[in-house]
Chain A
């Protein structure tokens, strides 16, 4: 059925509202990849089985990731007229207990993460109240959504629907205000007005470059030619960043709607989504969403009966990091190897098949419907002077609360790591936070009060990138981290520019020498010099930013490099050639666990005799540390 009239629209909306807020109990399981990898599918199956077996009046459904991945699998229960409650770390057994006791009033506050008494719809600004008659006494102890530290500072624009709606239901997307912005612009706005609105919002590209989105659209619209392309970059290659996956899996329609709006503004009739092959679930959800959008006449010919045509094709990437670069991505879409080209002519003028092409990333597209719905003034009030709106960060690594956080630009790193992230687990000390993926850098503790926006991060030698934020503690070696990134980049360098291909290789070799105990005086200076050459003489951003992880760690953690080179010592206890595992006889209880687990028979000892490690045999795999319950194994 194609949507043609506002009545058609209303019918779908009502269908969606019934699904979203049924007049009974609804249970949703977070079924994004992060949920599934911790057992969400088993939880979902167990719930279905229990509900069917006991004939419970409960609808079991699925949703995307609500961001608090640390707590996965997450189950969300909503009873009509009562608060919606989130439960974390669910198992099939716990989930069954939860629903089977639900009608007896067992709300199990101890398992609950938080509750929603109401929900703010970011597209309309409306407040939807879950509670009709106050909060039930048993639920009072459960903290409210905006009271728990993880969510307190968050403002969800790009992630607005993830973990709220069923990504496979276009009706739910419409019910929550979806495709209204598209409807609005097609019936009330000229393409130039849409561009003006996006320009005024101050939205900058969320994929890493930070180029003003509206300006890009305008350049593409004004470029010579009759055929234009709109492309969504969903080749989220930065290791440590996964917001695009979450949006594609949890709210694919927001990206499609953004793209159709962009296509109308730019004057394009064909679009592409280039999505990572490593994200099979995202591809699947995206395909399903696209089919539904086509059925309803929201993508394809004569959209919403307005005569505007725009079709979208989904292409799977080939697992090449460099294809996240716009010209390489376009080469790949053309069926070539993903090698970047010089950009003296921009892709907005000559991109895919040498036609004007506008490329934005997933998170950027997902922002568009909200900007249209709420207006540029509203959007521009969020954030800092030159970085407007919010940014999604994947807060991962050595931090207590890992997950996706969407915060207004300008928030400090300290607030993200300590207030939202809950600091470093295990009582260890913070060492650095790595932002910007392999193009970014490591930021030390002294700069934690830095407000996060595009320009400030660049000033300190890192960058916003796509929003990966990997926290490291004192047990992470910064030389090892630098080597890790350079190893990644030498592997992913397409090989076109000698400086990048050979430079990253040579930098890797030097770093490998340093971590293997073969470091020499002058190595640091050589790395700096090589870094400069690679940066200045490579064509694309991969090479142009490749030295950042090395240069920033040298800048802020030079002492660690020196310890490796001068003293042949790895202060963090990571680099295998420079460390030794030993067992503290005072702490050892001679339980024998480590001896049993040691793969190289390096541990000897007997009952009641403290164990020892034979350094000749030890392969430094760390099995003994994992096995020891008494912290008797130490690294020196």
Chain B
């Protein structure tokens, strides 16, 4: 695996131990997920125990240790979305994509994840696909929305 990009990210953060969360965030942004080799490399390069890197990578919800699909769907399960049927939107996507939350479709097209609140509470139920927010969803509209992502 090519670690040049990873090294340059570590360098940008001055190789400081306190920056390890930001470093992992930047690496994930670049590589789409955190591979085992990447975590090992970060630990070695920064001379911090692998156990600590692994602990951070598994503690925070933003990190994924599995490859994600081409498009990332985040269904909001915040309170306001919940009382307006957010769970149903998620179930509909699970049925349509034939995955359960947290999984990636076989063709690597979508990864279906959930988030506790996107702060669009007035427009619930809400989801985000590749950073684009969609509000006022219902089961019918959500099925059609995904056609635009190939």
Contact = CB atoms under 8 A, between A and B. Distances in A.
A319 B64 CA distance: 12
Nearest to B79: A240
Contact of A626 (B19, B80, B139): B139
Contacts of B83: 397-398, 470, 472, 476, 481
Nearest to A236: B119
Contact of B21 (A236, A335, A468): A335
Contacts of B80: 239-240, 394, 396-397, 468, 470
A337 B59 contact: yes
Interface string B16-29: 11111110010000
Contacts of B126: 37
Contacts of B78: 239-240
A133 interface: no
Interface stretch (A106-114, A274-282, A531-539): A274-282
Contact of A402 (B88, B95, B122): B122
Interface string A303-331: 00000000000011011110000000000
B123 A319 contact: no
Contacts of A332: 21
A332 B20 CA distance: 10
A516 B72 CA distance: 31
A318 B140 contact: no
Interface in A236-287: 236-242, 245-246, 276-280
B119 A242 contact: yes
B61 A239 contact: no
Contact of A277 (B17, B25, B120): B25
Interface in A411-464: 434, 437
Contacts of B119: 33, 236, 241-242, 245-246, 276, 278-279
Nearest to A336: B56
B71 interface: no
B133 interface: yes
Interface string A460-504: 000000001010100010000100110010001010000000000
Contacts of A239: 77-80, 82, 116-117, 121
Contacts of B32: none
A318 B21 contact: yes
Contact of A397 (B16, B77, B84): B84
A114 B34 CA distance: 50
A332 to B, nearest CB: 7
B121 A622 contact: no
B18 A37 contact: no
Nearest to A41: B132
B118 A338 contact: no
A280 B130 CA distance: 12
Count class of interface residues, chain A: 35 or more
Given A33-B133, A239-B117, A621-B139, A338 B19 contact: no
A321 B116 contact: yes
Interface in B66-89: 77-80, 82-85, 88
Contact of B25 (A316, A404, A472): A316
B60 A72 contact: no
Contact of A38 (B59, B62, B118, B135): B135
Given A70-B122, A335-B18, A626 B84 contact: no
A242 B25 contact: no
A148 interface: no
Contacts of A147: none
B116 A622 contact: no
Nearest to B131: A280
B116 A488 contact: yes
Contacts of A385: none
Contacts of A597: 140
B134 A37 contact: yes
Contact of A278 (B55, B63, B77, B117): B117
Contacts of A277: 25, 62
A333 B84 CA distance: 35
Contact of B59 (A278, A338, A434, A623): A338
A72 B116 CA distance: 22
A260 to B, nearest CB: 23
Given A396-B80, A470-B83, A37 B61 contact: no
Interface in A20-69: 33-34, 36-38, 69
A611 B63 CA distance: 47
Contacts of B92: 621, 623
B91 interface: yes
A334 interface: yes
Contacts of A472: 83
A236 B55 CA distance: 23
Interface in B11-49: 16-22, 25
B133 A242 contact: no
A476 B84 CA distance: 9
Nearest to A248: B119
Nearest to B121: A396
A403 interface: yes
B138 interface: yes
Contacts of A402: 121-123
A335 B20 contact: yes
Nearest to B58: A337
A209 interface: no
A278 B72 CA distance: 13
Residue in B25, B80, B126 whose Cβ sees the most chain A Cβ within 10 Å: B80
A101 interface: no
A38 B136 contact: yes
B133 A37 contact: yes
A599 interface: yes
Nearest to B114: A491
Contacts of B138: 626
Contact of A398 (B84, B88, B120, B136): B84
Given A242-B117, A396-B122, A319 B21 contact: no
A404 B20 CA distance: 35
A428 to B, nearest CB: 12
B115 interface: yes
Nearest to B55: A337
B117 A335 contact: no
Nearest to A480: B82
Contacts of B59: 318, 320, 337-338, 494
12 contacts: A37-B123, A38-B136, A239-B77, A240-B121, A276-B119, A318-B21, A318-B56, A319-B60, A468-B80, A488-B77, A488-B116, A621-B88
Interface of A: 33-34, 36-38, 69-70, 72, 236-242, 245-246, 276-280, 315-316, 318-321, 332-338, 394-398, 402-404, 434, 437, 468, 470, 472, 476, 481, 484-485, 488, 492, 494, 597, 599, 621-623, 626-627
Given A239-B116, A278-B118, A318-B60, 15 more contacts: A69-B122, A315-B22, A319-B60, A332-B21, A334-B18, A335-B21, A337-B56, A394-B121, A395-B122, A398-B83, A402-B123, A404-B122, A470-B121, A484-B82, A622-B139
